[in-house]
Structure 1
Amino acid sequence: MNDVSATGLSLLVQASTTFPAGILVTAFADDADPFDLPAVDIAQTGMDINGNLVSWSTPTPQAVTINVLPGSEEDQNLAILLEANTAKRGRRHAGDIITLVASYGDGATTTARNGKITNGSRGNSAASGGRLKSKAYTFVFQDFDSTRVR
């Protein structure tokens, strides 16, 4: 039997300048996917003029979205990271290089390196149900690898 439980997930987000010791993320959203790794295309295909399939590999960065509880310590620290890396008039952005380590409850790990924070909300949004919406922070990484537990 396969156990696909995500219980025990924790993330460590290290930012080279702003948070070199890292931000520990364990307070995940309950109304959005806590940790999302969308599929990436690793090859392109086409047809030549005679109908033969041709393909070529394409390097593709890995996007990662982390959804946290609004107002949590994780949200506050990720908001600081977003703000520090936002380009503004008269101020230089931090230029953080991000490393993310995801540790799963079964002992498996996923490590993403050479990344940038690319997206996040600068404030709290309200849902029609009367609660604050979860806060999403998106990163893009160049290097990505995993270890598995047997």
Structure 2
Amino acid sequence: MTDLLAGREDWSMANCSIARALEVVGTRTALLIMREAFFGTRRFDDFAQRVGIGEPAASARLKELTAAGLLERVPYQEPGQRTRYAYQLTEKGRDFLPVLVALRQWGDTWAADEQGPPVVVRHKECGTAVHAVIRCDEGHDVRFGESFVDAGPGLLRVDPDSA
């Protein structure tokens, strides 16, 4: 176990996974559209209404999330109407669920009003509340301070001659 943080001035953050994720879902409206997609919203007008944004903003966010591969457009047609498109989560989008669960969990603890959280997500099989946890590959729950940062294969180092 090395203390990589001690040499952090040598790291380049040009390849930061958090920064790259925020480029895709780092706006309030993108996160709320993803929330709605997990709650079952599919149609454009419903996204705009439930997120509380205008059509131009809804259109821009849905296009961005579709281009990033989190949502896909699927055609549907009501009787006597023209073909329209609904949005559904892709595999990449479904993999975003733990992020929203963790964000909701933090909000329930630190940002909910005195009445408590507005929704509780429950496991279909047993009915108990669903929570995000940090767990290592061996199955141990990991709390703050019980982990360390190590070099990953994409770690870029700062060239000392370029500084």
**TM-score normalized by structure 1?**
0.23
More helix by share: 2
More strand by share: 1
Larger radius of gyration: 2
